[in-house]
Chains A and B, each alone.
Chain A
Amino acid sequence: MTVERILPTEEAAALLELTTELADAELAPRAAAFEERGEFPREVLRTLGRAGLLGLPYEEKYGGAAQPYEVYLQVLEILASRWLTVAEAVSVHTLACYPVAMYGSEELKARFLPDAVGGELLGAYCLSEPAGGSDAANLTTKAVLDGDEYVVNGTKAWITHAGEADFYNVFCRTGGPGPKGISCLFADASTPGLNPQKRERTMGLTGSPVAQVALDDARVPADRLVGGEGIGFTIAMSALDAGRLGIAACAVGLAQAALDYAVEYAKGREQFNTRIIDFQGLGFMLADMATQVSAARAMVLATARLRDNGRPFSVEAAKAKLFATDMAMKVTTDAVQVLGGYGYVHDHPVERYMREAKLLQIVEGTNQIQRLVISRSLAK
């Protein structure tokens, strides 16, 4: 279905047109087979990078496109509607560029951003640990300054792009307990002692590599400290505020894909000599799905516009992430229902969409954590 969009500029319209062309030609035809094989589409990301779709929010000076979040998120949504692994990769990569782009020294920016934004370098974002995902402020990976290098020890968990990434943002403890003791190091994949582990066997997004990253006396040059000691948690949370919007946009795209597929199917399938979409029970279900998708999209864009206008948006981002990802779970589950038995097999993409939706309720702050953020803001 074509989505009516109000875009801020002619430039944005051209960008979305290009995105749709790329998504149709490069993503859609590959998604099912790559997911089935568990293959990461590294080349597709390079293509997106060359076309200028990675690092859209960042400064033009470093190869970015200086696009508002409102536009960037709609690009993500379109990518997600064709292949979630790729959209998530773009979202994670954009997140991985965030610390250097917003807090990094001029030298770090100039050295890494152009290649990262151009798609030649792929990034990973290492915050979670085996013992602590939600409670990130208590992370235990430790970094000790030794001469002009940090020596890092610990284990990072659930790292998207582990083993494929060219650089890793490692959040680690350089000071005392709590959020104020955390710093962010920008480490090359070739850092001695930085070792991606065996790939996790995931339920969905099987094309996206996820693994632990072990840090065994990993030596990271001191000039790779992003921003300064002790501001790592501030960086992580500010990155996640933006990242949550990315995940919410992915949820909208995924749900739109499930809705579109279910609608087409329901128009073509007949039972009792009637198109199943003409049974009110099913037609109303599709109507509810469509309404939920539109509501989530509106929420994501309204929050993006707050961010673009320099207003506080953190709590609204939590609401958007919560609503959009719960919505995607519901809509993809219902899409399977619309297809009946055919929805339950790999020949149709809806069972994959359903498995993929589950991830979005967990990453970048579980939906319980989003509720925590929202309820705390209410209790203040």
Chain B
Amino acid sequence: MKIVVLVKQVPDSGSERSLRADDGTVDRASASNVINEMDEYAIEEALKIAEAQGGEVTLLTMGPDAATESIRKALSMGPDGAVHVTDDALHGSCALGTSKVLAAALRTLEFDLVLCGAESTDGRTQTMPHMLAERLGVPALTGARKLTVEGSTLTVERQTDEGYEVVQATGPAIVSVWDTINEPRYPSFKGIMAAKKKPIATKSLADLGVEAGEVGLAGATSKVLSSAKRPARSGGQKVEDSGNGGADLVAYLSAEKFV
């Protein structure tokens, strides 16, 4: 089974993140960048399937040159190789532009299954699997908390607010996963050493036959007009206990409809 996992490098959600003042895009240069958290679950799922059924796992990343670091890190978990689409003209691509590029890259690869995280912690659109499915003409099974692969039949438990839905499709297909699906492994020391020797194929827009004007800031269908920092957290409400602290707490909780 040939599996492609989409991996995005994002600014660490645990550290200070900001948008660039000039064009409103995510400031990647000054951020501490990591593998999008949800993508690690997609990689783990791919590795588990490949270990159980045999197969090959390839990572696909679109991002600046510096994303190589995250690709190596992801490779140290165990995938066989990676494709890195990088091109100066890609800066500022919107979700539609990104999906155009990733779809073009996927067309150059053979796959039975594409796995990705349900969302990225920077964009958070949750639309990439649908857009790719549409462009490639394959089914999308999104938001999986469980995936079963039997031959070319893919069965997914699709996580919803109330519970889950069981949905099925015939591969090749795209499956996006939530962090409830598995527990990603740590890279091993041997994996880290092996990752240094694994192939990373670099592709430009020209290699993929995508016009520079269709993507990047120039081709973006959406634009950040303005942005503001989230306000600092306010102090919270303190209940002083002068005999009736318990009653005051309950009054607060019921006013806020917690109880």
Interface membership of A110, Cβ < 8 A? no
A interface footprint on B166-204 (CB within 8 Å = 1, 0 otherwise): 000000000000000000011111111100000000000
A149 to B186, CA, bound (A): 42
A21 to B35, CA, bound (A): 14
A18 and B187 within 8 A (CB): yes
Residues of A within 8 A of B191 (CB): 52
Residues of A within 8 A of B186 (CB): 18, 21-22, 47, 50-51
B192 and A65 within 8 A (CB): no
How many residues of A are in contact with the other chain, CB < 8 A?
12
Query: Which partner residue on chain A sits nearest B72 by CB separation?
Result: A14
A18 and B190 within 8 A (CB): no
B193 and A51 within 8 A (CB): no
Residues of B within 8 A of A18 (CB): 186-187, 189, 192
Interface membership of A336, Cβ < 8 A? no
Q: How large is the interface on B (under 10, 10 to 19, 20 to 34, 35 or more residues)?
A: under 10
A14 to B188, CA, bound (A): 10
Taking the nearest CB of chain B, how far is it from the CB of A270, in angstroms? 21
Taking the nearest CB of chain A, how far is it from the CB of B252, in angstroms? 28
B interface footprint on A1-32 (CB within 8 Å = 1, 0 otherwise): 00000000001001100100110000000000
B185 and A65 within 8 A (CB): no
Residues of A within 8 A of B193 (CB): 11, 14
Residues of B within 8 A of A14 (CB): 189, 192-193
Residues of A within 8 A of B189 (CB): 14-15, 18, 51-53, 65
A52 and B190 within 8 A (CB): yes
A27 to B33, CA, bound (A): 24
Query: Which partner residue on chain B sits nearest A48 by CB separation?
Result: B186
Within 8 A of B (CB), among A196-214: none
Query: Which partner residue on chain B sits nearest A52 by CB separation?
Result: B189
Query: Which partner residue on chain B sits nearest A67 by CB separation?
Result: B189
A356 to B190, CA, bound (A): 32
Kindly name the residue among A14, A15, A50, A53 whose own CB sees the greatest number of chain B CB atoms within 10 A.
A14
Which 4 A-B residue pairs are closest in the complex by CB-CB distance? A52-B189, A52-B188, A14-B192, A51-B188
Please, could you name 12 A-B residue pairs with CB atoms under 8 Å apart, sorted by A?
A14-B189, A14-B192, A15-B192, A18-B187, A18-B189, A47-B186, A50-B188, A51-B186, A51-B188, A51-B189, A53-B189, A65-B190
What is B's interface to A at a CB cutoff of 8 Å?
Answer: 185-193
- With A14-B193, A18-B186, A52-B190 given, can you name 5 additional A-B contacts, CB distance below 8 Å? A18-B187, A21-B186, A50-B188, A51-B186, A65-B189
